[in-house]
Amino acid sequence: MRKIAFLYSYSPIIAIFVVKIQRKQTMALIDKINDLLGRIENFNATSAAEIEDFRVKILGRKGELNDILEEFKTVPSEEKRVLGQQINAIKTKANERVAALKEALDSAPVAAASSGDLSRPAMTENLGSRHPISLVRNEICDIFSRLGYTIADGPEIEDDWHVFSALNFAPEHPARDMQDTFFIEKHPDVLLRTHTSSIQVRTMEHQKPPIRVICPGRVFRNEAISARAHCIFHQIEGLYIDEKVSFADMKQSLLYFAKEFFGEQTQIRMRPSYFPFTEPSAEVDVSCNLCGGKGCNVCKGTGWLEILGCGMVDPNVLEASGIDSTKYSGFAFGMGVERIAMLKFGVKDLRLYFENDLRFLGQFDSVL
Ligand code: DAH
């Protein structure tokens, strides 16, 4: 500076030149200050480390502010006042920005915490539940699989042979009437199966004894919908064919099922009955699991609940499916899943199973 003062006291041209250089330097410094002020204002950070880096880079010993102060020394004294104020502003603004960012960072977890208890379990997703009919069907299949039965399947759209003729239904049997069975228009031989006994026939046609199958499926009947009946429902059929299979085998198997499904204390009783495909035939009752056999409104005071039909497979049925009835015998049984589920859960109206009310359907997953 002294050199410059010396120079321009001797030469006015040099003096003008020096003033021009100084002017240029001052302008550059103003630009630098403005640029830095802008960057301070726009600075953002997501961590304390970032904030500290920023602070050191600007206010630290080797920081940008010190560079600016160094350059400030060469600014002509008449401009120092204004520029000095701006340089001071850098310091204040940088400090303010650092403080504000630190506070925002510190208060972030506090804000989350104040919105609730952070140790609370996360919101659970409603995963839905299995349908009670599926639960009961699976349970029944599981019980029989423990006795060595495997699952067999068949079509819902059937023909007369598998649903009626092969099962020994007489030609004039009422089940063959349109009143009871859904036939396909213009195709008298095509119908919706009215029972899962048709799967017995299909199994015997394709497998050689010993046969031990359980056949769950949907069935269709031309019935008015009420609390006790529906036009679509579910059945489970069972079939056991081997040499020397007896009525006693059937009774023991069904007693095992009843105890497994309704509880160890359950008793069964068999009443004579009639089905075209079994001889002799029986209906099986279980002791009422709701009143323990004392009599209640579910068992209508009898202490017993009817759960299934069964019988020794009629030799005509074995022969119709190509099984030698002089060598083999067997038993079959069939039950309605909705009915069993109603008895198990104490549900009084069968229609509830078909209405898809989630408040009803969600109650059974934990029961079975
Ligand atoms: N198919 C009969 C029905 O739909 C149920 C039935 C009864 C199946 C006796 C059988 C049986 O296998 O032996 O009502």
Cα–Cα distances in Å, from 360 out to 226, 346, 348? 18, 13, 13
In the block, residue with structure tokens 């010190």: 66
The answer to whether 18 and 8 have CB atoms below 8 angstroms apart is yes
pLDDT of res. 368: 64
Contact present, 121 and 151 (Cβ < 8 Å): no
Nearest CA residue ID for atom 7, ligand 1: 309
User: Residues 318, 242: contact at Cβ < 8 Å?
Assistant: no
Spell out the per-residue pLDDT of the chain, length 368, in tens. 444 454 445 455 555 555 667 778 888 888 888 898 899 999 888 888 889 898 999 998 898 889 888 888 888 888 888 888 888 888 899 899 989 888 888 877 655 556 677 888 888 887 889 999 999 999 999 999 999 999 999 999 999 999 999 999 998 888 888 779 999 988 989 999 999 999 999 999 999 999 999 999 999 999 999 998 999 999 999 999 999 999 999 999 999 999 999 999 999 999 999 999 999 999 999 999 888 888 888 888 999 999 999 999 999 999 999 999 999 999 999 999 999 999 988 898 999 999 999 999 999 987 66
Mutation probe of ligand 1 site: the residue of 149, 201, 284, 333 with most atoms within 8 A of C-beta? 333
Q: Is the CB of 334 under 6 A from ligand 1?
A: yes
pLDDT for 178-202, tens place per residue? Answer: 779 999 988 989 999 999 999 999 9
Residue keyed to tokens 């079959």: 332
**Distance (Å, rounded) from C-alpha 5 to C-alpha 2?**
5
Query: Tokens at residue 6, please?
Result: 């010396």
In our burial notation (b when 16+ CB lie closer than 10 A, e otherwise), range 108-135 reads eeeeeeeeeeeeeeeeeeeeeeeebbbb
Distance 154 CA to ligand 1 centre (A): 16
234 lines ligand 1 (CB under 6 A): no
